[in-house]
Amino acid sequence: APASKLLADAPYAEHLTAAIGELHAARLPPADDARWRRAVVEHVNSIAARLWRGAQVRMFGSSASGLHTRGADLDLCLLPPRPPHINAARRMISSIGVELEAQGMLEVLPLPSARVPIVKFVDRASRLQCDICVNNLLALNNTALLGAYARADGRVRPLVATVKYWAAQRKVNEPYRGTLSSYAYVLLMIGYLQTTDPPVVPSLQQLGRLDGVERIVDGYDVWFCDDPGAHGWSGSANTQSIGELLLGFFARYATEFDDAKHVVSVRLGRMLERAGKVWGEQQTAAARKGRRADRHLFCIEDPFEITHDLGRVMDTTSLGWTRAEFSRAHALMQARAPLAEVCAAWSDA
């Protein structure tokens, strides 16, 4: 395969490795970033505690997993003492919106009737773009899982930063336009790193799991191993450079992953056959009835909420854009293009 020929092209892989290192360093958050983020959490926490006795605010998303880059948003989750009914959650979003406004926060936008009620705002002091949701326990847990992957191998962070940057530059990281979320790209990268030979990271949901052990949150099993070293993982036997791995990532999704047949499953650490998932069957049933198949065109299984397909945001058009970008990146890398060209800003000129 062309991919394996390229993997042997040492000078090009070395260029990529150096360029990824530089890009990652340049995209790292500024030195005082963590302090700013903590200050916002404390501020919002004090607002919440004043409004509801015993309520707390937690950080999640990339700021909490360590997979954030310069300028990433700040994802916050309000935890009331007891799980609120959806209507109570909607009222909480409205109330905290009023209070954020009163405290001088900028661009406060409460969206209490959204499927997932949130309030968006910009923190006045740090100018960080923030989102608050209510009692999103699965998101807190999937953040912890991604954080454990980030710590499992030093190659995860620079590779994730590069793919997020590439996807943003190429305009295929815009869920409101039907392309994948950052979270979905992180799962694609982890899914790839679990299935290299040998793997760069194990499946933390399988490693060291004793029979019958589970931890149920909101109806889903969120157990994972957060200390792989203590469970027989003595580091990866894979010695590939980050340059070679980035090549392999694009080769995987441009040429090897067959979206008609496969599902990306970070939970199992391997590519699943679609036939075994209910989405495969839904699609067949829809096709049989002559309806356009329900959108499961490129399946990425959520690690915990296994009925949730992160690829579902894509329709045939946005999947077309995304596929074209994977192919473009792969083709440029086959032609040994510099990383800057692979990640060049998209333009319709």
Q: Is 309 in the site for ligand 3AT (CB under 6 A)?
A: no
Report the nearest approach of ligand 3AT to the CB of residue 283 (Å): 20
Report the nearest approach of Mg ion to the CB of residue 220 (Å): 21
Please report where in the chains the tokens 């329900």 appear, as a residue.
294
Q: How far apart are CA 237 and CA 37, in angstroms?
A: 36
Q: What residue type is assigned to position 191 of the chain? A: G
Site size toward ligand 3AT (CB under 6 A) is 17
Q: Is 61 in the site for Mg ion (CB under 5 A)?
A: yes
Residue 68: CA count within 13 A, CB half-sphere: 21
143 vs 283 by CB, closer to ligand 3AT: 143
67 vs 246 by CB, closer to ligand 3AT: 67
- The set of residues, in sequence order, having a beta carbon less than 8 Å from that of 204 and lying 6+ positions away, is 145, 148, 149, 152, 224, 225, 226, 228
**List 6, 20, 72, 118, residue binding ligand 3AT (CB under 6 A):** 72
Of 121, 118, 130, give the one whose Cα is nearest residue 94. Answer: 118
**List 37, 68, 277, 330, residue binding ligand 3AT (CB under 6 A):** 68
Q: Is 62 in the site for ligand 3AT (CB under 6 A)?
A: yes
By beta carbon distance, the residue nearest Mg ion is 61
9 vs 73 by CB, closer to ligand 3AT: 73
Q: Is 73 in the site for Mg ion (CB under 5 A)?
A: yes
Q: How far apart are CA 288 and CA 14, in angstroms?
A: 50
Of 139, 255, 248, give the one whose Cα is nearest residue 194. Answer: 248
Report the nearest approach of Mg ion to the CB of residue 66 (Å): 12
Report the nearest approach of Mg ion to the CB of residue 46 (Å): 22
Q: Is 305 in the site for Mg ion (CB under 5 A)?
A: no
Q: Is 325 in the site for Mg ion (CB under 5 A)?
A: no
Q: How far apart are CA 37 and CA 59, in angstroms?
A: 9
**List 12, 17, 57, 61, residue binding ligand 3AT (CB under 6 A):** 61
133 vs 225 by CB, closer to Mg ion: 133
> What are the b/e assignments for 109-136, b being 16+ CB within 10 Å?
ebbbeeeebbbbbbbeebebbbbbbbbb
**CA angle, 253 then 313 then 175, to 5°:** 90
Site size toward Mg ion (CB under 5 A) is 4
Per CB under 6 A, contacts with ligand 3AT among 108-167 are 139, 142-143, 164
Report the nearest approach of Mg ion to the CB of residue 165 (Å): 14
Q: Is 75 in the site for Mg ion (CB under 5 A)?
A: yes
* 3-state percent helix, strand, coil for the chain, nearest multiple of 5: 50, 15, 40
- Which of Mg ion, ligand 3AT, none does residue 142 bind to, with CB < 5 to 8 Å depending on kind? ligand 3AT
Whether residue 181 contacts residue 310, with contact meaning beta carbons closer than 8 Å, is answered with yes
The two three-digit tokens of residue 183, written as one number? 């979270």
Report the nearest approach of ligand 3AT to the CB of residue 310 (Å): 5
Report the nearest approach of Mg ion to the CB of residue 197 (Å): 32
Q: How far apart are CA 99 and CA 93, in angstroms?
A: 10
Please report, as ranges, the residues that interact with ligand 3AT according to CB under 6 A. 60-62, 67-68, 72-73, 75, 139, 142-143, 164, 181-183, 302, 310
